[in-house]
Structure 1
Amino acid sequence: MAPNTFNVGVVGYGMSAKVFHIPLITSLPELKLYAIVQRHPKPEDDAEKDHPGIKSYRSTEELVKDPAVDVVVITTVPETHYSLASLALEAGKHVVIEKPVTSTSEEADKLIALAKEKKLLLTVYQNRRWDADFATLTHLIKSGALGRVVEFESHFDRFRPEAPSTGSWKTQAGPASGAIYDLGVHLLDQVVFALGLPKKITGFVGIQRQGETGGFEDACTVLLHYDGGVMATVKASVISPEEKQLRFWVRGDKGSYKKYHMDVQEDQLKAGKKPGDSGFALEPKENYGVLTSAKDGKIVSEAYPTIDPPTYVEFYRQLAQALSGQGDVPVKPEQSRNIIKLIELAKESSREGQTLPAKL
């Protein structure tokens, strides 16, 4: 029997929509790219020309009035997520929100309550749960190869000492802006997915670039304290002059896993490679991480092949199943709400200069 097909309307036509959502949606037969909201198309940037046959709207208000739309995907700037998601839910549409889910945990709580009231699906695009290196790391943890994990480091470090010449929400002061809302959301989500919620939190959120006057916080370090002396560190820096950047360093009482380099899917999607193409999401051998094990009193290190990941398509595959009533959403909105609350606590901790209880 042919699968159910669900019409998807995408709000926004920037990089997020073009790179991280539309190629995944169009790769699945259960989902149909039905409509796109693009407020100001240009001759060289027109969703209707790029995707012949779609419905083209200029506002989300128009989109949600279309009875044929089943799912609304919101890819706009974070400060608009709450209002646009509320609009779609009120109109009876299931909703996918690009991360971060909202500017505040209070807004996230309101959306979760509204989705439950309307009996609609609400989920958040935390795509890096399906990074190949993270999938490899979670496999090693679950298999017991590292033993009891005591330290978990996760980094998105770069060497970009000059302030960006053009701004986006990621590089301007404002609601849900800065490194902690951009990269920190991914890092915190992965740690909490792997280890659960912490007991305490210590945050260092600030500015590393010299001469930055706009108030944009370009760096963050967050310590997550767990029972039994377990500590997780997430770090995003723009002043990291390294030939290769550390991504993960996770240590346990039986071994450790150290990994450099970023997952390849983002760069591949930006370059036009699509899910299903040869080599998509597969990491080159020279980028493999190193597994170090304590065996018979000796320390032995070896390259550990990165596993073939389910890829970012898995997010939308699970969404399609949930729409058909055959499973849960790929990312529960409560989980993403908790990440926003952790960010709020990290910023408060940084301002006050003290460790805080992780009361969510």
Structure 2
Amino acid sequence: MAGKIRVGIWGLGRAGNGMHIHELGLYPDMFEIVAGCDWDPARREAAAKKLPGRPVYEKGEELLKDPNVELVSVATRSPDHVKHAIQAVEAGKMVMVEKPMACRIEDALELQKVADANPGRVFVRHNRRFEAAFSHIREIIRSGKLGHIFEIKLCRHNYQWRADWQTILDCGGGQLLNWGPHLVDHALQFLECPVKELWSDLAIVASRGDAEDHVKIVFKGENGRVVDVEISGGASLGDPVYAVRGSRGTLMSWDEKRLKLKYLAPGYPECDTPASPGNPPLEGGFGGQVSPVWVEDDLGVAPSNGDQPEKIWKYLYKAIRCGEPYPITMAEAVEVVRVIDRVKKTPIRDVR
């Protein structure tokens, strides 16, 4: 099978209209948007201006009956993702499911069964797996220059009096289902092993709804590594987006554009002075006679594979048209939902 993949976008809000249309337009030799669909007249009108000459349907059934649609990009409200994805598969379409893949683990497992029964037809859009900074940092970790990685902290902070459906629990709102899938996926990738322990806290700080806008999750892997995730819509001053700490050095990034590293010079021996029960000297340091020799780097983010979030569509094309493995497995996507479902059981503290 060759040629462009013909896409119908189901859901034309901030994801479908604001992201999918733009991103697909970056790969005109691979994809063609042939239709759209949304129940909201204003959103249909806005999408029609971007998709002149192409049908923009009101009902999903109309989109699924369109024989020109080969792949349905599901970007409807979060609680509808699984239902709409399954409907699309049953209509003979391939599916790209926006995050969160599902709001509950039961629904994720149901979609996994459908995917297993229809191999090569269901894909999950965890696009931030391909963030440039995330990819570059993983390369640096693999290089070994930071030594044994024992702790990683991931943060996304702002302060916002948000008041749309994404702040209402019954609508599938909250940071856990909004930014959560991205950073939980990052955390599981950084952990590089099964989760041994997990602690979480949820709070409402600035949001106008009843869903959490502050999320704290601390993972501990079977390898002993700790990954600390913090997502907050109630933090007026933010922490570094990435902080990676290893036995030979540290990496930090405040803006995902530059990476700052401080690590022991390669080949420089670590201090081998044995610990002593005696008193330390009255003056000077505490680390013996050898002082560390540090290397400090200030790097622009530039992963060797050229990853960017929108590149997920290129990987999708290669999976469908070239038979290459899609880099986000259904099992990985289900595990993200499993963690989120577990954290959702944490009581929400209202600190407003």
TM-score by length of 2: 0.84
Aligned to 1:260, which of 254, 273, 280? 254
Quote the residue 1:280 is aligned against: none
Which amino acid counterpart does residue 3 of structure 2 have in structure 1? N
CA–CA separation in structure 2 for the residues paired with 1:38 and 1:158 = 30
Quote the residue 1:186 is aligned against: 182
Q: CA RMSD in A?
A: 2.3
Which amino acid counterpart does residue 289 of structure 1 have in structure 2? L
Kindly, what percent of the aligned residue pairs are identical?
23
The 10-residue stretch of structure 1 (215-224 or 298-307) with the greater mean CA deviation from structure 2: 298-307
Alignment of 1:132-151 (within 5 A): 132-151=132-151
Contact 2:17–2:47 at 8 Å: present in 1 too?
no
CA–CA separation in structure 2 for the residues paired with 1:337 and 1:175 = 21
Contact 1:90–1:118 at 8 Å: present in 2 too?
no
Deviation at 1:327, TM superposition (A): 0.8
Larger Rg: 2
Aligned to 1:219, which of 207, 214, 227? 214
CA–CA separation in structure 1 for the residues paired with 2:44 and 2:63 = 23
User: Gaps (5+ residues) in structure 1?
Assistant: 264-282, 354-360
Deviation at 1:119, TM superposition (A): 3.5
Which amino acid counterpart does residue 249 of structure 2 have in structure 1? G
Quote the residue 1:65 is aligned against: 65
Aligned length: 320
Which amino acid counterpart does residue 7 of structure 1 have in structure 2? R
Deviation at 1:3, TM superposition (A): 4.6
TM-score by length of 1: 0.82
CA–CA separation in structure 2 for the residues paired with 1:313 and 1:238 = 24
Deviation string, structure 1 residues 278-319 (Cα, Å, up to 9, x no partner): xxxxx4xxxx12111022323343312211542223211111
Which amino acid counterpart does residue 98 of structure 1 have in structure 2? E
Secondary structure, aligned partner of 1:246? coil
CA–CA separation in structure 2 for the residues paired with 1:337 and 1:329 = 15
Secondary structure, aligned partner of 2:73? strand
User: Gaps (5+ residues) in structure 2?
Assistant: 269-291
Contact 1:92–1:120 at 8 Å: present in 2 too?
no
Deviation string, structure 1 residues 318-347 (Cα, Å, up to 9, x no partner): 111111142122422221111111012223
Aligned to 1:238, which of 220, 233, 240? 233
Deviation at 1:245, TM superposition (A): 4.1
CA–CA separation in structure 1 for the residues paired with 2:327 and 2:55 = 27
Quote the residue 1:274 is aligned against: none
Contact 1:94–1:121 at 8 Å: present in 2 too?
yes
Deviation at 1:258, TM superposition (A): 0.5
Contact 1:257–1:289 at 8 Å: present in 2 too?
yes
Quote the residue 2:277 is aligned against: none
Which amino acid counterpart does residue 52 of structure 2 have in structure 1? P
Secondary structure, aligned partner of 2:233? coil
Which amino acid counterpart does residue 254 of structure 1 have in structure 2? R
CA–CA separation in structure 2 for the residues paired with 1:43 and 1:75 = 13
CA–CA separation in structure 1 for the residues paired with 2:23 and 2:89 = 23
